[in-house]
A and B are shown apart, each in its own frame.
Chain A
Amino acid sequence: MDSRQFIQRDENCWEIQPKGAMRVPVIIYANNQLLEDMDQKVYEQITNVATLPGIVKAAYAMPDAHWGYGFPIGGVAAFDPDQDGVVSAGGVGFDISCGVRTLYTGLNMAELQPHKQALADALYRAIPAGVGSRGKIHLNHKTMHGMLTGGAQWAIEQGFGEEQDLERIEEHGCMAGAESRHVSPRARERQKDEMGTLGSGNHYLEVQRVAEIFNPMVAGIFGLRVNDVVISLHCGSRGLGHQIGSEFLKAMVMASAQHQIVLPDRELACAPLASPLGKQYLGAMRAAINCALANRQIITHLTRQAVATIFPGIHLGLLYDVSHNTCKLEQHTINGQKKLLFVHRKGATRAFGPNHPDLPAAFKDVGQPVLIGGSMGTSSYILCGTKGSEQRAFSSACHGAGRAMSRSKATKQWQGKALIEQLAIQGIIIRCPSMRGVAEEAPLAYKDVSAVVDIADQAGLARKVARLEPVICIKG
């Protein structure tokens, strides 16, 4: 994008003032380089978001923003139910509640090193990954309802984990307000054999080394030291979320005229929060959030079992679990007034600052862990929420690097087998059922996550705490 289209507010903050049908300004957090590298579609999409009814304060784009569906990926927007606000299926995305969970292992690199290959094999055997993989759990009508309303709490009741895991998961592992009756038979059918599966594309499970600490005080509270080994997993609500996303997107497109909503782009389809369709979507979307939380909980259990075969007796506790495709009802202060708003984060991570009431006691003083996934072979980051982030972007930060190159270009440029060999030389073990899948996820097909994280830090959206490097990557 041409930066001359913006008013530069400071080094990392760019504004588009309301024009045409825009109800609020647009704010993009980026440095000049990241902004110039963004597709012009980001400009179109985020200005379209600013036209939606009931939007509050501004439509925001994170430093990793890129061309999405209706909303840009990396888009944040809050809607006021008292001002005819809307909920948008495209503003949440197809992979509802896709997110990242990081587990401690209590191991350091020296302890892992002799067992790397064995651990890679054990994890690859234990965790169903890739197209056509099925989980070992089969849900019937009753257990499906339990999962959709209970999330990770349900999974733990079924024996997949420990009670203390819950305090380290957003929403305490269970999204309130889920209504399974609004989840269609098709969405259930797509999910009944998919619990505890990783999926494909950019979803992964990684064994990582803490390579660098930026903030020793916060890292101490997060329990991270250089050379510690952690395990992170990135996945979402699987077929159920995809089906709900597809069905409600279509329903919202078809109902927009009835709701008298003028859509600059059909993909921006939305429904008034007060409408029956809006309420049905919220109920189904929250059930999909529970599905994602249960899925990550079951994968955690499978991971614990696999790790125990190599390192008997070690305990894998949770650092935290974040979701980056959601719409959540949150209290925010607007012009000195506390308001309950529906905050959409499409490819953006919640980043509550210190003393937020929803944080576990351990993080009250430093803010929530913000888990930023890299791509295969590149660094991931752990940040913490800031006090100022609420005023900057409704307590939101980036979620990852974002693609720099399309899948088809990537497959023309790289071969899976050669990439795996190159990464092996760097000490990174890849396990993936598809060589073409590896090529499509080549590290250089993604933007530089370090640049994105640096700007999130400098813009005050979240503060850098630690950098993680991959050691083993199980790709879907």
Chain B
Amino acid sequence: MDDNLIKPLWEHFEHEADIGIRGIAPTLEQAFEQAAIAMTAVITDPAKVSDLKTINITCRATDTELLFVNWINELVYAMAVRGLLFNHYQVIINNGKLSATAFGEAINRLKHQPAVEIKGATFTELRVYQQTDKSWVAQCVIDV
């Protein structure tokens, strides 16, 4: 299939106690970006978040699944200590190194009505893979 026909998207999937985040996109990088939007959507409607601030994130790992856990945990940490929410991301992955920019704003409890804070990414249902239509999937369950 032509890469252009695969529309990047995010979704949640079921876990009994918590919630799964999944990004599906033509490239690995975009799948990571989409999954991170799915993470924001666990907390609030991403459409309610403006992109007034940017932060840079880098992390490394020996395989793409560990890299995905690191990516999500870097965002969880940044949100927690800087009091931010993000609405979109730009990710570059090169030789096991991820460099990204996250776009968002300071959390505003009235505006964002945040439902729940995220404790961390888990290894449950952790998968990063390419489907037969060449699209990439990045997913895991997050603990809330």
Contacts and interface: CB of A to CB of B under 8 A. Distances in A.
Nearest to B118: A242
Interface residues of B, number: 37
A406 B123 contact: no
A369 interface: no
A183 to B, nearest CB: 14
A322 B94 CA distance: 47
B16 A200 contact: no
A200 B143 contact: no
A245 B144 CA distance: 13
Interface in B1-60: 12, 14-19, 42-44
A189 B76 CA distance: 13
A137 interface: no
Given A243-B77, A406-B15, A436 B115 contact: yes
Interface stretch (B96-104, B106-114, B130-138): B106-114
Most buried by A among B15, B81, B115, B120: B115
A266 B70 CA distance: 15
A125 interface: no
Contact of A437 (B14, B15, B115): B115
Contacts, number: 122
Nearest to B113: A434
B122 A267 contact: yes
Interface string A243-266: 101100110011000000000011
Contacts of B115: 131, 200, 407, 411, 434, 436-437, 439-440
Contact of A253 (B16, B19, B120, B123): B123
A439 B115 CA distance: 9
A212 B116 CA distance: 32
A435 B73 CA distance: 26
B143 A66 contact: no
Interface stretch (A67-75, A144-152, A289-297, A378-386): A67-75
A437 B116 contact: yes
A200 B117 contact: yes
Given A130-B114, A201-B117, A408-B12, A69 B124 contact: yes
Interface string A427-446: 00000011111011000000
B66 interface: yes
Interface in A260-278: 265-267, 269
A286 interface: no
B126 interface: yes
Contacts of B44: 436
A437 B117 CA distance: 10
A94 interface: yes
A67 B15 contact: yes
A239 B122 contact: no
A39 interface: yes
A403 B16 contact: yes
Given A250-B69, A433-B109, A66 B16 contact: yes
B113 A435 contact: yes
B14 A406 contact: yes
A376 B101 CA distance: 38
A239 B80 contact: yes
B124 A267 contact: yes
A390 B17 CA distance: 28
A19 interface: no
Given A200-B116, A201-B144, A266 B126 contact: yes
A243 B119 CA distance: 8
B120 A246 contact: yes
Contacts of B42: 407
A41 interface: yes
B119 A189 contact: no
Contact of A243 (B15, B18, B107, B120): B120
Contact of B120 (A73, A245, A402): A245
Contacts of A249: 120, 122-123
14 contacts: A69-B123, A69-B143, A70-B123, A132-B107, A242-B119, A242-B143, A245-B120, A249-B122, A250-B70, A265-B123, A406-B15, A408-B19, A433-B113, A434-B113
Interface of B: 12, 14-19, 42-44, 62, 66, 69-70, 73, 76-77, 80-81, 83, 107, 109, 113-117, 119-124, 126, 141, 143-144
Given A246-B73, A436-B113, 7 more contacts: A69-B122, A69-B124, A70-B123, A93-B143, A131-B109, A132-B114, A242-B119
Interface of A: 39, 41, 66-70, 73, 93-95, 130-133, 186, 189-190, 199-201, 239, 242-243, 245-246, 249-250, 253-254, 265-267, 269, 402-403, 406-409, 411, 433-437, 439-440
